[in-house]
Amino acid sequence: MTASTLKSYTCKDLAQMARSEGITGWHSMRKDELVAALVRAKRKSQGKGAVKSAVTKKLQQRPTASPERLRVQREISRVQQESAERKNLSCTSEGRPEPQKDRIVVLVRDPYWLHVCWEITPQSVERARSVLGQDWHGSAPTLRLIRVLDGGGGRLERCIEIHGGVSNWYVDVSDPPNSYRVEIGYRATGGEFYCLARSNTVTTPVPGSADVVDNNWTDVAENADRIYAMSGGYSADGASMELQELLEERLRRRLGRPSEIRYGVGAAGDSRDGDELRLAVDAELVVYGSSDPNTHVTVSGEPVAVSPDGSFAVKVHFPDRRQVIPIVASSADGVEQKTIILGVERNTKLLDPVVKDTVAARS
């Protein structure tokens, strides 16, 4: 509606139209002012309508996502979720309860392998995310293997990148015997390390013939006492509480010294009718070594089987006295021969028995 058309209306009609358009102050306006106000209101209304129409048209023209684009978006979401799960150390196997505290325990499996077990709470992972800040995205879950030195200090051996969804890791070590501890946390791309938990200290044993004769031992349930002992459970300092708690929770039985768990209060009810406790001990000596393949080896004059790699091991009687054991290796053609004399002595002593007061132990 133009200004000339509006001028053909009476002042009363224009006032009514201004009132309908919501123009403020219409009741005090003259006719020319009402016409000008109505023209401005009409232009403003037309402008809003044009903008709304343009937006509606643009939305209608927006192309819908193609099936391929949707597939790519789903794949990106899946990869992002998997990456987050692999970084989250609080994510463990299904069926396991959520951990209540942070702990990491190292078990000695043999002279060259450590078994590392851990539990990390989601709250600790969130704290690591906050502390690392922008470095979080480039960080990686990491185990730090530290060799414990004689003075009590430590030297970083290496960093081992791990991932979420698991709660244990096998770590190979060299040059036994040595003492180790392990730290678990997140290592940023710049080398900064945020530690979540530190393990107990363990010492690997001297390599021995048991590794050959027993063909190693791998089942924790069947060898828990041996693992506990090799990890410091029966040492003078004792094992860490985390180590004992972890094994007892997994095996659902107590671990400790026999005087603490086997012959304590629970054994008081087992009557032996005054019979004397029996204890008999004997010993065997394991002689092991290595030579060139295809050599002929004897121990105390008895031939010993030599493995393809040249290693050999044999058990010999170990009486309660001093003895000399010759080990002789001869080349396959019989031209060369080497001899090593092994001098050993066994001295067995029977100590006086000790009788404990079970009533005092119960109290």
Range name among 54-63, 230-239, 308-317 with the lowest pLDDT average: 230-239
**Model pLDDT, residue 213:** 41
- Residue 278 forms part of a structural domain: no
Burial class (CB in 10 A: 0-12, 13-18, 19+), 119: buried
CATH of the domain at 168: 2.60.40.10
* pLDDT single digits (tens) 273-324: 667 788 888 888 999 999 998 899 999 888 998 988 899 998 888 889 999 9
**DSSP 3-state of 244:** helix
- Judge if 245 and 311 occupy the same domain: no
- Judge if 117 and 185 occupy the same domain: yes
Residues shown for the chain? 363
Q: Report the side by side order of strands in the sheet with 113-119.
A: 103-110, 113-119, 168-172
Phi, psi at 312, each rounded to 5° = -150, 155
- Residue 80 forms part of a structural domain: no
**Model pLDDT, residue 156:** 95
Q: Which of 251, 259, 261, 252 is nearest to 224 (CA)?
A: 251
71-104: b or e for each residue (b if 16 or more CB lie within 10 Å)? eeeeeeeeeeeeeeebbbbbbbeeeeeebeebbb
Higher per-residue confidence, 214 vs 350: 350
**Model pLDDT, residue 176:** 87
Whole domain around residue 190: which residue ranges?
A: 86-269+356-363
The predicted model gives 227-247 an average pLDDT of 61
- Residue 73 forms part of a structural domain: no
- Residue 125 forms part of a structural domain: yes
Nearest-angstrom CA–CA distance, 195 and 142: 9
* pLDDT single digits (tens) 143-191: 999 999 988 789 999 999 999 888 889 999 998 889 999 999 999 998 9
- Judge if 257 and 294 occupy the same domain: no
Confidence tier at 344 by pLDDT (50, 70, 90): very high
Higher per-residue confidence, 218 vs 4: 4
**Structural tokens at position 62:** 């927006």
Nearest-angstrom CA–CA distance, 278 and 144: 48
pLDDT at 2 over 80: no
- Residue 186 forms part of a structural domain: yes
- Judge if 233 and 128 occupy the same domain: yes
pLDDT at 198 over 80: yes
* pLDDT single digits (tens) 61-111: 666 667 888 888 888 888 888 888 888 998 765 556 777 889 898 988 888
- Judge if 294 and 361 occupy the same domain: no
**Model pLDDT, residue 29:** 83
**Model pLDDT, residue 278:** 85
**DSSP 3-state of 316:** strand
- Residue 67 forms part of a structural domain: no
Give the pTM: 0.51
Number of domains in the chain: 3
- Judge if 184 and 91 occupy the same domain: yes
- Residue 207 forms part of a structural domain: yes
- Judge if 321 and 202 occupy the same domain: no
CATH of the domain at 288: 2.60.40.3110
Q: Helices (DSSP H) in the chain: which residue ranges?
A: 3-7, 11-21, 31-61, 67-87, 122-132, 210-213, 224-230, 241-251, 258-261, 358-362
Residue type at position 97: P
Confidence tier at 251 by pLDDT (50, 70, 90): low
Taking CA atoms, 271 is separated from 33, 248, 274, 356, in Å, by: 118, 28, 8, 14
pLDDT at 134 over 50: yes
- Judge if 170 and 306 occupy the same domain: no
- Judge if 116 and 227 occupy the same domain: yes
- Judge if 119 and 249 occupy the same domain: yes
- Residue 350 forms part of a structural domain: no
DSSP, res 174: -
